[in-house]
Every structure is written in C-alpha cells, then in structure tokens.
Amino acid sequence: MSRKKGDSRDQYHIHLNGMISRLKNNLMRDGIGARASRGALLTVLNFGGTSGLRLFSNLVLTRLLFPEAFGLMALIQVVIAAATMFSDFGLREGIIQDKRGEEQAFLDTAWTLQNVRGWFLGTIIYLSASPIAVFFDTPQLTQMLHFSAVIPVLQGFNSLGMHTANRQLLLGRLTSLALVSQLIGAITMIVLAYILQSVWALVYGTIVGAVAHTIISHLWLPLKTNWFTLEADATKRLFSYGKYIFLATVAGFFVNQGDKLVLGKFVSLEELAIYNIAFFLATVPLLLAFAINDNVMFPLYRHRPPGDSADNKTKLDRARFAVTGTLFAGIAVIVLIGDGLIQILYDARYYSAGPVLIMIALASMPRLIMLSYEKVPLAFGNSKSFSFFKVSTAILQFGLTIVGVQQFGLPAAILAPTITALIAYPFLIKIANTYDAWSPKHDAVFACIFLVVAAIVFWLHGDLFQFSRNL
C-alpha cells in the first residue's frame, strides 16, 4: 500500500515537473506567441507591482494627510491628463505600427516631436493655472499647477526605448522601469508627507518620480541616444497616422477623466477624494485590461491578424477568453467584499467609499467585455475608424455624466460609462467584424456572467443605489 502511495507521489511530481518544464520552454522561446505570453505575464507583474505600491503609499498617506489633499491631487492629475491627451498625436502607436518604427531617423524625429510637445504642455499648464483654479473655486491650485507644469516637460525627454521594446513585445525592462520609478516617487511622498504634513508632499513626490522615470529610461532601455532631428518623411508618417489618434485621445480624456472633471466642479474636495479612492480600488481589473490590451493584444493583432487564418483567430479568441475570465473573477471578488475591504484598509473618514467601490466595479464589467476590440482597427493602420468611435462614445458619455450628475448625483457619474458601452456595442462590433476579430461566444458568455453577478449584488446590497446627490 505504501509503495503504491509512493509511486503515485512520484508520478505526480514527474507530471508537475513536466508541466513546469513545458511552461518554461514556452516562455523562453523567441517566437511571437512566446513573446506575447511573456508580455502578458510581465504586464500583470508590472501592473500588480505598481498598483501594490500605489495602494501601500495611499494607505500610509491617508493617515498622514487630510482627505482634501487627495481631492486637490486628483484635480492636478486631471489637468495634466487633459493637457497630455489633448496634444497626443499617436507617437507610441505610430512607432509600434509603422514599418520604419525601428529606424534611427524615424525614432529621432519621434523623440524631437515628443520633446517639443512636452515643452508645449508645460507652458499651457503654467499659463492656464489661474483660470483652472477659478473654475474649480480652489485658489491653492494655482501654485501647485505652476510646479506640476514641469512634469510633461520631463516626460518629453523619456527614452523612446519604451516604445520600441513594446513594439517587439520585450517588456521586462519596462516592468522594472515602472516599478523602480514609482517606488522612488512613493518613498518621496511618504517622507515629505511626514515632514511637511501638506498636500505639497504629493506634488513634489510626483515630480521626483517623473525625474527618476526619465533618467532610468535612458540607462536601462537598449536604444541609441536620440538627437534633435526632423526628417520630412518620418514627420509626415507620424502626423498622417496620428491626426486621428489626436481625436481619439481627446475623446479618451473625457471617457476616462470626465467623471472627475464634472465631480470636481459639483462636489467638495473631500467627496472627490473619497470617490477617487473607491475608483482606484474598483477599477484595478479594468486598468489591468487596458494595460494588457495596449502592451500585448495590440501588437499581437499586428503580428497575427485574425483574418489571415483560422489558427490566428482561434489563438486570439483563446487569449481574449483567458484575460476577460481572469479579470471578471477579480471584479466579482471586489463587489462581494468591497465594503468590508474599505473598512479594513481605511479609517472611518473614508468608510463611505465602500458602496461607491461596489457600484464602480460592477459598472465596469460591460466595458471590460468590449475592451479587447477597441484597438483592432489601429493594429491595421485604420486610426480613422478608431478615432470616430472614441469621439462618439466620449460625447455620449460626457453628456450623460454632466446631465446625470446635476439631476441624480454621484450614481449618474458611475453608471454613465455602462450605459454608453451598451449603446456603443453594436457599432464597435461592426468595426471589429471588418477584421474578423469579433468573438460572439466570448461576449455572450461574459454578458451572462455579468447578469448573474449583478443579481447577486442587488440581493446582497439592496439599498446600494439609494444615494443622495452627496457621497
């Protein structure tokens, strides 16, 4: 009997070692599939590490600073995001997609344009600081924005090695770069918050993190030093591809930051801070999906177009199922334990973030189903269709948010993205189907799962949507 048990254990270990060996061999290969697998793993590690650092620093800082400080920082981040996205003409996507994306003259031109853009953004933020402070009725924003204007200037000097590594699905050093620079920024924030007891700790820490990111990007990423160059053909290619990307990124700002922009106008800084904390925790799976979509699925569509062969389509569908299933599981956990999680992690000043967290997490599920289709046209160089879709959804979502918040308060800001996603779904599928990228089975399965999770949430939290206009 004992010999049989020993044989079973030996067989189990042989089987386990074989699985580990096969996994290791698959990850160590140099083909596109292996790079995509490594890219997905590194994207998860990158996102998990940066999110973990952000959560840790957030927990420490909420005990050192007052809630309004996080509301102020949220407004600064919205302004920087607006300036950045309003001037994006698709350098990253252009480098990944263009056949000249690894030529030195092309990269030098892209770096020059990135640098000019950084100075332009810094100037705009500095000059618009006072009007923005008046708009939000927050005088202290003026000086903070004057200091924060240096952030896009620093970002303009970043190495383009980040984009070429992304193009080749070589994401190891990108992961290290993100983690180390964020760690430096987080430590700076915590130390200064302890010393200064002021929101300025967040501003200075963000600037230090940007400095670290720029320096390390040149030290760690394998790319020749870029010089100021404007080659005519490269400039034409980047602007030709990026003119529609510009529209898409402007739209992306209103899709991803419009809720904070509207709430910043209509609610207090403390309420905005509570919403921001809930939003950060609730959207971890969705933000991870964005990262995987950008770093893995987008380059993978370019290397393995689903319309080229049944094998390509099958592998892409399998990858989509795996990503959505894993992230849906994460959202399900969040909606079930969200309220208790807030009470464990934060003090009583932030308890009202619990039900908000549950609502945001649940509302993100329909968008997650659609997300992997959004950049399909970009992978084939069709930035026009992508941009028109993003602009249309942004107008709809931002309009719903403005009207809804004034009429129904906070729940409208949370539900506007879900309503927009449901309305936009048929149009997105029409675009995806052009490239044979639609997976109806994937969408149907996860739509059913969403309905089940929503029913459980309503059963456990029957009064979840009984919010007043205030948090």
Is the pLDDT higher at 250 or at 277?
A: 277
Backbone phi, psi, residue 65, to 5°:
-120, 165
* pLDDT mean over 338-353: 87
Note the pLDDT of residue 189: 94
Residues 6+ apart with CB under 8 A from 458: 464
Which residue has tokens 């609730």? 282
Q: What span, in angstroms and rounded, lies between the C-alpha atoms of 133 and 57?
A: 27
Note the pLDDT of residue 470: 46
pLDDT tens-digit map of 397-409:
999 999 988 888 7
Residues 6+ apart with CB under 8 A from 195: 201
Is the pLDDT higher at 122 or at 177?
A: 122
Note the pLDDT of residue 18: 45
Note the pLDDT of residue 16: 40
* pLDDT mean over 299-309: 77
Which of 112-116, 268-272, 344-348, 461-465 has the least mean pLDDT?
A: 461-465
Confidence bin at 87 (pLDDT 50/70/90): low
Q: What span, in angstroms and rounded, lies between the C-alpha atoms of 241 and 328?
A: 34
Q: What span, in angstroms and rounded, lies between the C-alpha atoms of 53 and 156?
A: 24
Please choose, from the candidates 313, 303, 294, the residue with its C-alpha nearest in 3D space to the C-alpha of residue 371: 294
Cβ atoms of 89 and 242 within 8 Å: the answer is yes
Residue 6, pLDDT > 60, answer no
Is the pLDDT higher at 202 or at 92?
A: 202
> Residue 126 in 3-state DSSP?
helix
Helix (H) or strand (E) holding 437: none
Note the pLDDT of residue 15: 44
> Residue 137 in 3-state DSSP?
coil
Note the pLDDT of residue 366: 92
Note the pLDDT of residue 400: 93
Is the pLDDT higher at 223 or at 454?
A: 454
Confidence bin at 337 (pLDDT 50/70/90): confident
> Residue 168 in 3-state DSSP?
coil
Residue 370, pLDDT > 80, answer yes
Confidence bin at 308 (pLDDT 50/70/90): confident
Task: Tell me the angle at which helices 32-64 and 2-28 cross, rounded to the nearest 10 degrees.
Answer: 90
pLDDT tens-digit map of 195-233:
998 889 999 999 999 999 999 888 877 666 777 888 888
Note the pLDDT of residue 469: 43
Helix (H) or strand (E) holding 138: none
Is the pLDDT higher at 37 or at 246?
A: 246
The single-letter DSSP state of residue 371 is G
The single-letter DSSP state of residue 375 is T
Sorted by where each begins, the domain ranges of the chain are 35-230, 243-471
Cβ atoms of 154 and 197 within 8 Å: the answer is no
Residue 66, pLDDT > 80, answer yes
- CA count, 13 A, side-chain hemisphere, 459: 7
Residue 425, pLDDT > 90, answer yes
Cβ atoms of 74 and 264 within 8 Å: the answer is yes
Residue 12, pLDDT > 70, answer no
Confidence bin at 162 (pLDDT 50/70/90): confident
Is the pLDDT higher at 297 or at 117?
A: 117
Cβ atoms of 178 and 166 within 8 Å: the answer is no
Neighbours of 267 (CB within 10 A): 21
Note the pLDDT of residue 81: 80
Is the pLDDT higher at 255 or at 206?
A: 206
Return the percentage of the chain with pLDDT > 70, whole number.
83
Provide the residue count of the chain: 471
Which of 201-210, 428-437, 457-466 has the least mean pLDDT?
A: 457-466
pLDDT tens-digit map of 137-158:
889 899 999 999 999 999 888 8
Note the pLDDT of residue 186: 92
pLDDT tens-digit map of 15-30:
444 433 443 444 444 4
* pLDDT mean over 108-135: 90
Which of 36-40, 255-259, 311-315, 326-330 ranks highest by mean pLDDT? 326-330
Which of 41-50, 221-230, 338-347 ranks highest by mean pLDDT? 338-347
> Residue 197 in 3-state DSSP?
coil
Q: Kindly give the residue spans of alpha helices, DSSP state H, lying in 221-352.
A: 232-266, 269-282, 284-292, 298-303, 310-345
Task: Output Rg (C-alpha) for the chain, integer angstroms.
Answer: 23
Note the pLDDT of residue 365: 92
Q: 61 vs 209, 277, 283, CA distance in Å? A: 16, 12, 20
Q: What span, in angstroms and rounded, lies between the C-alpha atoms of 46 and 294?
A: 13
Q: Kindly give the residue spans of alpha helices, DSSP state H, lying in 267-309.
A: 269-282, 284-292, 298-303
Backbone phi, psi, residue 388, to 5°:
-65, -40
Please choose, from the candidates 367, 378, 358, the residue with its C-alpha nearest in 3D space to the C-alpha of residue 423: 367
Tokens of 373: 């289709």
* pLDDT mean over 41-67: 82
Q: Is the pTM value of this prediction over 0.95?
A: no
Q: How far apart are the first and last CA of the chain?
A: 64
Q: What span, in angstroms and rounded, lies between the C-alpha atoms of 387 and 102?
A: 25
